[in-house]
Each structure stands twice: as C-alpha cells, then as structure tokens.
Amino acid sequence: MRMNKDISSALSYTWAWVCGLFAWVPGISPDWWTVIIGGVGMVITAAINWHWQKKTFQKRFKKESIDEQSG
C-alpha cells in the first residue's frame, strides 16, 4: 500500500516544523531531536504493526480452525 503524496507531503512539513519547534531547547541540538522523535515514531509504528498483525493472525487462523471443524 502506497501513501498518498499529499499525506506524505503534509507529514514531511509537520516533521520539519516539529524538529524546528524543539530546536529552541538548550543543550539538545535539532539533530538529536530528530533522533529522539524518530525513535519514538519507530516504537509507535512497531506497536501499531504488532497489534495489526496479531489481529489479522487471530482472525485468519480462527476462521481456518472453524472451517476445519465444520468440514
């Protein structure tokens, strides 16, 4: 599944804005904010993917086990 170019563009601009917003914090450079926010984003994405795959797995194999029992 591909991401819509408008959504991708909006996310890119939002990302740049968020990194710029946090650049004013003393002692943490914008590069480190990029690393921190990127790490948080990866954890959130992993959690969403894990939940989705778990849900899909349970749905698929529950259906197959029902089909096997009835057939």
Task: Identify the segments of the chain with pLDDT beneath 50.
Answer: none
Cα–Cα dist 8/66, whole Å: 41
**What is the tally of structural domains in the chain?**
1
Q: Which pLDDT value is given to residue 29? A: 79
pLDDT of residue 1: 52
Domain that holds residue 64: 5-70
The answer to whether 30 and 20 are in contact (CB under 8 A) is: yes
pLDDT of residue 2: 62
| Tokens read off for 22 | 């946090």
